[in-house]
């Protein structure tokens, strides 16, 4: 946390050395104040960070069973998707004209609903 910003304004802005010195002094004291406040607040910040880490760990522990359930369901949904695709391909191959008619009607209905 110990960073000090030194601003060099003496060439571009044409400020005298006393103004440059005053700016550097103000900047240094502002940084010192920030460091002092940060030092005083460090225990509180660490305590809050610890509580945040505990909350994240607790949420991860609660989410783990849900993630496992979703993984199992994902496998069964993937199998159902493959079966549906296979059945649809078989139906379209067996009934090409009927399939095109159904697709046209569904497309018409979807376009009407979207208007």
- Domain range annotation of the chain: 17-114
pTM of the model: 0.37
pLDDT score for 108 = 95
- pLDDT tens for the 115 residues of the chain, in order: 445 445 454 444 454 566 677 777 878 888 777 777 777 777 887 888 888 888 888 888 888 888 888 888 888 888 999 999 999 999 999 999 999 999 999 999 999 999 8
* One-letter-per-residue 3-state SS of 51-96: HHHHHHHHHHHHHHHHHHHHHHHHHHHHHHHHHHHHHHHHHHHHCH
């Amino acid at each position: 946390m110990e960073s000090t910003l030194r601003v060099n304004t003496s060439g571009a802005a044409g400020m005298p050395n006393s103004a440059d010195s005053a700016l550097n002094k103000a900047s240094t004291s502002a940084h010192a104040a920030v460091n002092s406040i940060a030092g005083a607040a460090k225990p509180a910040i660490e305590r809050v960070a610890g509580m945040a880490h505990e909350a994240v760990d607790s949420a991860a522990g609660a989410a783990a069973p849900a993630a496992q359930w979703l993984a199992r369901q994902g496998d069964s949904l993937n199998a159902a998707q493959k079966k549906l695709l296979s059945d649809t391909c078989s139906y379209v191959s067996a009934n090409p004209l009927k399939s095109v008619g159904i697709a046209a009607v569904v497309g018409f209905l979807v376009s009407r609903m979207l208007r």
